Amino acid sequence: MPNPTQALATLKSRLLEIQHLKDAAALLSWDQETYMPAGGGQTRAEQLATLQTLAHAKFVSPEIEDLLLHHIDPATGLANTEANGLDEASKALLRETWRDFSKAKKLPSDFVNRLERECSLAQQTWAEARRRGDFMHFLPNLQTVIALKLEEIDYLGYDDSPYDALLDTYEPGATVAQLQPLFATLRHGLLDILKHVQEASLPPDDRILFQSYDENQQVTFGKLVLNRMGYDFNRGRVDLSAHPFTTSFHPTDVRVTTRVFEKELPSCLFSCIHEGGHGLYDQGLLQEQYGTPLGESLSHGIHESQSRLWENNVGRSKAFWTYFFPLLQEHFPSQLGAVPLDAFYAALNTVKPSLIRVEADEVTYNLHILVRFEIELALIEKRVEVKDLPGLWREKMQEYLGIVPERDSEGVLQDVHWSLGALGYFPTYTLGNLYASMFFQQARQDIPALETDIQRGHLLSLKAWLNHNIHQYGRQYSATDLLHRITGCELSVEPFLSYLRAKIGDIYGFTITR
Amino acid sequence: MPNPTQALATLKSRLLEIQHLKDAAALLSWDQETYMPAGGGQTRAEQLATLQTLAHAKFVSPEIEDLLLHHIDPATGLANTEANGLDEASKALLRETWRDFSKAKKLPSDFVNRLERECSLAQQTWAEARRRGDFMHFLPNLQTVIALKLEEIDYLGYDDSPYDALLDTYEPGATVAQLQPLFATLRHGLLDILKHVQEASLPPDDRILFQSYDENQQVTFGKLVLNRMGYDFNRGRVDLSAHPFTTSFHPTDVRVTTRVFEKELPSCLFSCIHEGGHGLYDQGLLQEQYGTPLGESLSHGIHESQSRLWENNVGRSKAFWTYFFPLLQEHFPSQLGAVPLDAFYAALNTVKPSLIRVEADEVTYNLHILVRFEIELALIEKRVEVKDLPGLWREKMQEYLGIVPERDSEGVLQDVHWSLGALGYFPTYTLGNLYASMFFQQARQDIPALETDIQRGHLLSLKAWLNHNIHQYGRQYSATDLLHRITGCELSVEPFLSYLRAKIGDIYGFTITR
């Protein structure tokens, strides 16, 4: 038996090879969304399925299992006493690799291949169905995907709710039992703020954001902001895609995309800032841990906390626009030259129930997530059938937001996630918002000059704080532990609600006392 | 033992998986040349090495060998009598797969990985050395690459010249013994034409090609020509890169690149047409043969014949510009509006010894190749040392072209090939020119209206002829057999020399009688 250090080195070199396969797959996906000619779609799906099936097969090999069992006690999933010579980071690396291995090993190779293929096909059908506003066109594929996810749950197993098996994929450790009370409090708080907003006498006017804005200038300004955020263009780039996203092939090659509409200033602007937050996380992971869990982002919720912190806590703040609004005015003098900062700031923070999640304001955004969470839960717990989703969607939208889509393209068909089999993913968006407010509150305490820094366009102190406190650790700590290390607190909705009450109350002229 | 059809089907599915890996690697390479941020280079090299080592390992597996040996008699490399139930195409598929397998199996996996890595590093060093015009900076890497190629030759084996082992990789069946007399005749013929050119009293003036031309307009015009050639943009795209190239991930996703210089009209124009010729070949391969040798291009020489046929036989012809010159004038009215067609045509066909191969005219181009062929041969036969290459380069340039580079960046450092380990590749460029003239001569006989078609901008009859006679077969026939099937002749330099004597003689006002 090799000594622990040798076994660990061998394990890392095997993981590195698998990572190369996964990153090749990630490039294939990025290319599919940015530059691939339309005719290449079918083969691309097959190429992706091959790479991912191969990466899975290599990972669940007996060799990896042997290497892990040099160190891991399978009863606890933790490094055993013989691993005493290893430091804390190495033990965490082994723990997380074992976690991934145990999950991956439960999935038959054939299932991984079927899931990849069906999801690729479902995604293409979904895109067409959304274009046509025709849910029935998507229905058979969605039924297949849901059936596959139920099959996946059977493989993975669960203690309490079957939904937990999926949730755990995106947010390790999260459970329905934990989320439901949290989300109930959140819902109550958000509906209360929304009620105050709707009763306010003088809502801001956001029409200035929907004038005609030159698309190239919009992208130029987006890149300017990314640059100030510390996003490194020598290790990244910005492209256009139908839906903005961030992808990484290594900390030295992290790419964001944006989209730009001539008559919607917020779209390109906030997608740049949002994806830039994701990009800073991926650029901030340690290069020497590439291929291991310590070189990966912690969870989807923590990842989303980085994008939302930059997009909302920073990017929709008065301090931020104190510096950036004059620059934006220089880019768009005829549209914004005569607009006062306060009016622009208020316009950016207009609260109004709307049909599309990705365009929602900070107050109503999480109500969209709650709608999806409840629908997914009902699906997975088999309380509703796939064919009934459009009706259930309208019902929940009425209940939470008081509006109902006329067309399914603005309703149940709007998001790509289900076509990709990404059920259990939506709740991480809300967790991200909650984490973001807690992190930002702490950053303000840790960096006394933060407000002033931001007012001066100096965003690098915040970036350094995030690098230091979050990015560099990869998956060394659990989300709960990381949050506690940084803030000393458990996850709570209160920081987020307090932040919203103060900010939105200030803009709309109301006070909510608690 | 499975029946032949079952074994063949299993073999094809294994080859398909390997093809997916190779195509993922091809996308990584394409991305590296087009969009990858500079910082990503080091990791990209490692990702590529992993994918290619894995593809190699999967190919030389015992399973593939068993499947092949169901059908192949290893003594002949041909389908054995038990394979009688298979059609000719399937037998060819097996023969070519066995050929690839036998070659690949001679290379140890560790060697494949070392070669990939060293070449990636050498390429980066070469680029830097070329920028700095410093051969010594490149020398250690080039020495390593040459040592690896000599090692590769030892693995592959050879009958006559060690260079044959390399040549056979790019042009199956070609040998030094076959090329040397062919090239000697070619050299003699080309130097004779060049002598007549240099004695001509009124050479054309090509300065009109080097005015200022808007770069976007150049690319627009390049795409217009590609479109008329029948290059399918639904299954392809055009991007910019430092060195134009074509790559394919499947017949439904074939990409070309170009480069554009404001003051050099020929660069973007002819790289688009040249790469378009390559692109039509790859788009014309049979989709149902994807992953098998019948879905691959036949050889580098045949591939180059497609690009050169379009670039030179078509793209530098009077007929072509009869249609396209008025369109080009519309794109550049101030630069070309007053230029007569004949003057433009003559300018495009100016013959003049120059230092850079890729900018060379049709007469001197192959002299550049002969210089490289002789140097490579001397290197591989150990008649010269790597450190002596700059001197040898100047000597050969003087001998063949009568000019000598002042800087190595315009001499021995100008081409990427050696850094990539692509020794034995250059001769296929000349073979491509020879094949092109023979194919084009035959196409003119088979399509009586071809000249008129081209004069009217109807290029699809030629494309269809190439699709039908060449592209659809992949590697079903050897280059020699394909040439014979199409033209009834053996490879010869005479059609190419006749074509040049007639065309260049007409422009420069001389006649060479033979």
| Residue-wise DSSP of B418-437 | GGGT-TT-HHHHHHHHHHHH
Q: Does any CB of chain B come closer than 8 Å to the CB of residue A43?
A: yes
Tens digits of residue pLDDT in A262-306: 999 999 999 999 999 999 999 999 999 999 999 999 999 999 999
Using an 8 Å CB-CB cutoff, list chain B residues near A249: 40, 43-44, 47
Q: What is the mean pLDDT of residues A417-444?
A: 97
Q: Do A40 and B232 touch (CB under 8 A)?
A: no
Phi then psi for residue B355, to 5 deg, are -85, -30
Q: Is the dihedral of CA B330, B336, B339, B340 positive or negative?
A: negative
pTM, entire model: 0.92
Tens digits of residue pLDDT in B5-31: 788 999 999 999 999 999 999 999 999
Write down the pLDDT at residue B79. 85
Q: What amino acid is encoded at B93 in this protein?
A: L
Using an 8 Å CB-CB cutoff, list chain A residues near B236: 37
Tens digits of residue pLDDT in A6-60: 889 999 999 999 999 999 999 999 998 899 998 998 899 899 999 999 999 999 9
Which residues 146-165 of chain B have a CB within 8 Å of chain A? none
Q: Is pLDDT at A501 greater than 70 in this prediction?
A: yes
Provide the terminal-to-terminal Cα distance of chain B, rounded to the nearest Å: 62
Q: Is pLDDT at A83 greater than 70 in this prediction?
A: no
Q: Does any CB of chain B come closer than 8 Å to the CB of residue A236?
A: yes
Label residues B452-490 b or e (16+ Cβ within 10 Å = b). Answer: ebbbebebebbbebbbebbbebbbbbbbeebbeebbeee
Q: Is pLDDT at B2 greater than 90 in this prediction?
A: no
* Among candidates B24, B237, B253 on the partner chain, residue whose Cβ is nearest the Cβ of A51: B24
DSSP 8-state assignment for residue B211: S
Q: Does any CB of chain B come closer than 8 Å to the CB of residue A33?
A: no
d(CA A317, CA A335): 21
Q: Is pLDDT at B507 greater than 60 in this prediction?
A: yes
Q: Do B17 and A54 touch (CB under 8 A)?
A: yes
Beta strand segments in B78-133, E: 78-79
Write down the pLDDT at residue A79. 85
Q: Is pLDDT at B89 greater than 70 in this prediction?
A: yes
Kindly give the pairing relationship between strand B253-258 and strand B236-240. Answer: parallel
The pair of three-digit structure tokens given for residue B458, joined into one six-digit string:
């109807």
The pair of three-digit structure tokens given for residue A188, joined into one six-digit string:
């109550």
Write down the pLDDT at residue B120. 82
Write down the pLDDT at residue B242. 83
Strand partners of residue B250:
B253
The pair of three-digit structure tokens given for residue A333, joined into one six-digit string:
């003098």
Residue B303 CB coordination number (10 Å): 21
Give B451: exposed, middle or buried? Use CB within 10 Å, 0-12, 13-18, 19+.
Answer: middle
Q: Does any CB of chain A come closer than 8 Å to the CB of residue B398?
A: no
Q: Do B39 and A290 touch (CB under 8 A)?
A: no
Tens digits of residue pLDDT in A86-115: 899 999 999 999 999 999 999 999 999 899
Tens digits of residue pLDDT in B195-249: 999 999 888 999 999 999 999 999 999 999 999 999 999 999 999 988 899 999 9
| pLDDT-above-70 percentage for chain A | 98
Q: Does any CB of chain B come closer than 8 Å to the CB of residue A399?
A: no
Beta strand segments in A259-303, E: none
CA distance A101 to chain B (A): 21
Using an 8 Å CB-CB cutoff, list chain B residues near A25: 24
Write down the pLDDT at residue B84. 65
Q: Do B31 and A28 touch (CB under 8 A)?
A: no
Confidence tier at B449 by pLDDT (50, 70, 90): very high
Q: What is the mean pLDDT of residues A430-458?
A: 98
Tens digits of residue pLDDT in A157-189: 999 999 999 999 999 999 999 999 999 999 999
* Among candidates A23, A39, A46 on the partner chain, residue whose Cβ is nearest the Cβ of B235: A39
Element (H, E) at B186: helix B176-199
Nearest CA in chain B to A237: B37
Confidence tier at B182 by pLDDT (50, 70, 90): very high
Q: Does any CB of chain B come closer than 8 Å to the CB of residue A46?
A: yes
Q: Does any CB of chain A come closer than 8 Å to the CB of residue B448?
A: no
| Sheet-wide strand order for A236-240 | A236-240, A253-258, A246-250
Q: Where are the alpha helices (DSSP H) in B284-361?
A: 300-308, 318-331, 333-336, 341-348
Q: Does any CB of chain A come closer than 8 Å to the CB of residue B109?
A: no
Write down the pLDDT at residue A314. 98
At CB < 8 A and 24+ separation, what contacts does B57-63 make?
A: B57/B109, B58/B14, B58/B17, B58/B18, B58/B21, B59/B18, B59/B100, B59/B101, B59/B104, B60/B101, B60/B104, B60/B105, B60/B109, B63/B14
Q: Do A39 and B237 touch (CB under 8 A)?
A: no
SS3 for B377? helix
Using an 8 Å CB-CB cutoff, list chain B residues near A20: 46-47, 50-51
d(CA B24, CA B26): 5
Phi then psi for residue B144, to 5 deg, are -60, -45
Residue B111's Cβ-side half-sphere holds a number of Cα atoms within 13 Å equal to: 17
Q: Is pLDDT at A1 greater than 60 in this prediction?
A: no
* Among candidates A24, A40, A232 on the partner chain, residue whose Cβ is nearest the Cβ of B24: A24
- Residue recorded with tokens 């990842």: A303
Confidence tier at B4 by pLDDT (50, 70, 90): low
Q: Is pLDDT at B82 greater than 80 in this prediction?
A: no
Using an 8 Å CB-CB cutoff, list chain A residues near B16: 46, 50
Which residues 263-302 of chain A have a CB within 8 Å of chain B? 290
Residue A120 neighbours by CB under 8 Å, 6+ apart:
A44, A45, A48, A49
Confidence tier at A4 by pLDDT (50, 70, 90): low
Average pLDDT across chain A, whole number: 95
| pLDDT-above-90 percentage for chain B | 90
Q: Is pLDDT at A81 greater than 80 in this prediction?
A: no
| Residues of A carrying an active site annotation | 275
